[in-house]
Amino acid sequence: MSRIGVFICHCGENISRTVDVEQVAQAARQMTGVAYACDYKYMCSDPGQTLLKKAVAEHKLEGIVVAACSPRMHEKTFRNAAQAAGLNPFLCEMANIREHCSWVHDDRAEATTKATDIVRMLVERVRKNKKLVPITVPVTKRALVIGGGIAGIQAALDIADCGHQVVLVEREPSIGGHMAMLSETFPTLDCSQCIMTPRMVDVINHPRITLHTYSEIECVDGYIGNFSITIKKKARSVDMAKCTGCGVCMEKCPQKKIPNEFDKNLGFRPAIYVPFPQAVPNTPVIDREHCTKFINGKCGVCQKVCGPGAVDYEQQDQLVVEQVGAIVVATGFKLYDITEKPKGSAIKGYGEFGHGKIPDVIDGLTFERLASASGPTGGKIVRPSDGKEPKQVVFVQCVGSRAREKGISYCSKVCCMYTAKHTMLYKHKVHDGQAYVFFMDARTPGKSYDEFWRRAIEEEEAVYVRGMVSRVYQKGDKVVVMGSDIAVGVQVEIEADLVVLATAIQPRDGADTLAQKLGISYDKYNFYSEAHAKLRPVECATAGIYLAGACQGPKDIPDTVAQASAAAAKVMTLFSKDQLEREPIVARVNEKFCVGCLACKKVCAYGAVEEKEIRDRQGNLIRVVAYVNPGLCSGCGTCQATCPSKSVELDGYTDEQVMAMLDTL
């Protein structure tokens, strides 16, 4: 006969308002196996926990049911209390009479009956609970950072500076990300390149950072502390060990008219190229799609002129496997291409803005390249159509963002600030020019942010028009912007020389595919989901994987850097231990009954089920059964539900326990 203690919490009034807790306690005292029951206002508080610990000693309790909130909330709290009282923590279970009962019912009598039933079921479960011991797994103290923008760079440097090895993977030929493309940054107007490029050099020079550029994540195996990552290094066609970065190949390449993606197609680049002069690594890559040698085999100039003989047309994609213990995902963002209307998506596009058709309608990043000293115009602001200096520029905010009917309801967060910055950069370069901004409202929370925005209006004379733009069209060499000024209540038409659209921030293409490889969750826009919006903002729900930067949601540079350092701190916390403790709620296969159909292996989302050979003493194979790797198992129970012969049991949730819970009703 077991001696179980039942502790019923009022949760302030959250539970006691609807459930008669004293009556539940009274009923609990009559239940088989219950030696003690009581109720208390805040069971999770220090006096509440003390009550529990004292009762364990006084009544020689062997198991505990805490009837309170969800186990997600306080299971850990009470298991720790049980452990402090000398019990195995896994003999303590939560009966959720708040979320599952008091919060969702009005009728006091019925809610009390239901709460009693929930307690009765949990008592049955605890009667059949077994002592469990946490599983320990070793930790590989080496981190993977996915994405070489400012978020990835910051996280990689922080972790590496702390003495751990870091593998940094970047999809593009160079690290730097979007920040390397920016001109000057708000709210201080310091040059983006000047603060970014030294960090990039720190990365390549760091003795503990292994950099894989022009590479992608092919496959992710393993679990927290023990990931095995397969990385596809795309064929660069240039041997990185031999290349000195002299640049002769790029000068001599006869293909000179390929639109330069880094300059948002405003300039051109050769087929063998580095994305920008300050690229890290400074090793060119051959764009095989546009290279004459790869198209028809009739060139080979770069190979001939290369002194060290680094150009290698035969180079193949290469797979590299890296073992790591933690992963930081920092894959960043892309700008919403408003010309596209993806099929089957809620995203509707903005055909009425003429983007993609009218050359002088550009997006914010294109304006950054125009204003950048290292850009295609050397920092001179000109119209893409005729190269003339624009005298009237219209900026439009919230293009795509906060437009539920167009498919994106979130705020892109950075556009108010960067548009204010754009008006200033423009005014600084075109003194007689006039900037207009169409905006819904200005969102400028952040240190020195509102002051910055006020400065754009009050000192740099940008004209802010509160209202939406309905149409943009070409008229002669002007671009006409039609919109409304809701402050005055009139329609406005501005004949502009250049229109700059602050288009929404979206996750990078393929963010969903990567999430599926990593086994992390993402929202309907493909932004990665944190484990808890407030209390666990940098962790994924999948253990050992952390988030940094705009891949989780729109973010400016300071927020991104802060989150990257936070993710690095989480990785370092993980690496501070040699062994990891995992909850022992894992599935176990009864090898006597398992018939090896491996249905469990097929349904396991964590790759935790393996085949195991059963051999006799002579080593002859008798049969193959399933085996659950406790290090990988997350205790979801899918295998248990799938097994046709019921040969899998989940510790703490055995069939016997579940049946006993049902039988008691």
Partner 1 sequence: MNNSTEKAEQAVTIDISGYDVATAEIRSEAKRLLTEKIVDAVVGYQAGRRKGSAVPVIITDPAQAEKLLFSPACVNNLSIYLTKAKKEIRAKGKLAVVAKGCDLRALAGLVGESQFKREEVVIIGVSCAGVHRAGIQPGEPLTNSTIAKKCRECSVHIPDEADLVVGKLPPLPDLPPKEKELMEKLDAMTPALRWEFWKEQFTRCIRCLACRQVCPFCYCEQCLCDRGRPQAVDTSPRPSGNMGWHIVRAMHLAGRCAGCAECERVCPMDIPLNLLNRKMAEELKELYHYEAGMKPVEKGPLTSYDEKDDQSFIK
- Least distance CB 519 / partner 1 (angstroms): 13
One-letter identity of residue 153:
I
Nearer to partner 1, 146 or 511 (CB): 511
User: In this chain, which stretch among 280-288, 350-358, 466-474, 589-597 interacts with partner 1, using CB under 8 A?
Assistant: 589-597
- Residue 455, SS3 per DSSP: helix
> Which of 11, 25, 113 shows the shortest CA–CA distance to 69?
11
Instruction: Give the interface segment with partner 1, choosing from 74-82, 175-183, 395-403, 594-602 (CB under 8 A).
Output: 594-602
Q: Is the peptide bond before 173 cis (omega within 30 degrees of 0)?
A: no
- The SS3 call for residue 85 is coil
Tokens coding 87: 């019990």
Q: How far is the CB of 470 from partner 1 (least distance, A)?
A: 37
Q: Which is nearer to partner 1, 492 or 660 (CB)?
A: 660
Of 14 and 642, CB closest to partner 1: 642
Residue with tokens 């009864």: 590
592 binds partner 1 (CB under 8 A): yes
Within 13 Å, how many C-alpha atoms sit on residue 173's CB side?
Answer: 21
- SS3 state at 408: strand
The binder of partner 1 chosen from 35, 73, 595, 636 (CB under 8 A): 595
CB contact at 8 A, 77 and 50: no
Q: Which residues of 519-543 are buried (b: 16+ CB within 10 A; e: fewer)?
A: bbebeebbbbbbbeeeeeebbbebe
Among 73, 162, 480, 598, binds partner 1 (CB under 8 A): 598
Q: How far is the CB of 627 from partner 1 (least distance, A)?
A: 14
**Interacting positions 601-660 with partner 1 (CB under 8 A):** 602-603, 623-624, 642, 644-647, 655-656, 659-660
Interaction of residue 388 with partner 1, rule CB under 8 A: no
Closer residue to partner 1 (CB): 451 or 655: 655
Shortest reach from residue 95's CB to partner 1, in Å = 21
Among positions 597, 607, 610, 630, the unique one binding partner 1 when judged by CB under 8 A: 597
Secondary structure tally for the chain: helices H, strands E:
17, 34
Nearer to partner 1, 54 or 593 (CB): 593
Q: With CB under 8 A as the rule, give the number of residues binding partner 1.
A: 21
For residue 368, what is the enclosing H or E element? helix 364-371
The helix/strand/coil state of 642 is helix
- What's the closest the beta carbon of residue 522 comes to partner 1, in angstroms? 12
In the DSSP assignment, the letter for residue 89 is G
Task: Give 70 or 645: the residue with its C-beta nearer to partner 1.
Answer: 645
Sign of CA dihedral 31, 34, 38, 43: negative
* Nearer CB in complex with partner 1: 257/602: 602
Q: Which ranges constitute the DSSP H helices of 207-285?
A: 248-252
The residue from 195, 599, 629, 664 that contacts partner 1 (CB under 8 A) is 599
Minimum Å distance from CB 98 to partner 1? Answer: 25
Query: Nearer to partner 1 by C-beta: 61 or 604?
Result: 604
What angle do the packed helices 108-127 and 21-29 form, to 10 degrees? 40
Considering beta carbons, is residue 91 or 626 the nearer one to partner 1?
A: 626
The upper half-sphere exposure of residue 586, i.e. CA atoms within 13 Å in the direction of its Cβ, equals: 22
Segment near partner 1 (CB under 8 A); pick from 91-99, 258-266, 417-425, 586-594: 586-594
Q: ω before 281 within 30° of 0 (cis)?
A: yes
String marking each residue 504-523 x if it binds partner 1 according to CB under 8 A: --------------------
Minimum distance, C-beta of residue 601 to partner 1, in the bound complex (Å):
9
Residue closer to partner 1, measured from CB, 468 or 660: 660
Q: Which segment (43-51, 109-117, 319-327, 598-606) binds partner 1 by CB under 8 A?
A: 598-606
C-beta closer to partner 1: residue 57 or 659: 659
Least distance from C-beta 541 to partner 1, angstroms?
18
**Cβ proximity to partner 1, 109 vs 621, nearer residue:** 621
Write the DSSP symbol of residue 651. Answer: T
* DSSP states of 525-567: T-PBPPSBTTTBSSB-SSTTEEE-GGGSS---HHHHHHHHHHH
| Chain centre distance of CA 241 | 33
CA distance 599 to 641: 10
Q: Is 482 in the site for partner 1 (CB under 8 A)?
A: no
Contact flag: residue 487 with partner 1 (CB under 8 A): no
The Cα–Cα gap between 92 and 77 comes to 10
Chain-centroid distance, C-alpha 355: 30
Minimum distance between the CB of residue 124 and partner 1, rounded to whole angstroms?
Answer: 12
Tokens of 101: 């009962």
DSSP labels, 458-524: HTS-PEEEES-EEEEEEETTEEEEEEEETTTTEEEEEEESEEEEEEPEEEPTTHHHHHHHHT--B-T
Applying CB under 8 A, among 446, 596, 607, 630 the residue interacting with partner 1 is 596
Query: What is the closest distance, in whole angstroms, from the C-beta atom of residue 602 to partner 1 in the complex?
Result: 4
Q: Which of 435, 594, 609, 628 binds partner 1 (CB under 8 A)?
A: 594
Nearest to 242 by CA among 206, 211, 284, 271: 284
The interface region with partner 1, picked from 14-22, 72-80, 293-301, 592-600 by CB under 8 A, is 592-600
Q: Which is nearer to partner 1, 397 or 647 (CB)?
A: 647
- Cβ at position 655, least distance to partner 1 in Å: 5
**Residue 197 Cβ vs partner 1, minimum distance, rounded to whole Å:** 42
Instruction: For partner 1, give the closer residue by CB, 558 or 596.
Output: 596
Nearer to partner 1, 445 or 644 (CB): 644
Token reading at 68: 């309170």
Region binding partner 1 by CB under 8 A among candidate stretches 34-42, 112-120, 288-296, 597-605: 597-605
Asked if 548 and 560 count as a contact pair (C-beta separation under 8 A), the reply is yes
Report H helices in 128-191.
150-161
Q: How far is the CB of 611 from partner 1 (least distance, A)?
A: 8
Q: Rule CB under 8 A: is residue 593 a binding residue for partner 1? A: yes
Cβ proximity to partner 1, 357 vs 593, nearer residue:
593
Strands laid side by side in the 478-485 sheet: 469-475, 478-485, 490-496
**Residues contributing to the site for partner 1 (CB under 8 A):** 592-599, 602-603, 623-624, 642, 644-647, 655-656, 659-660
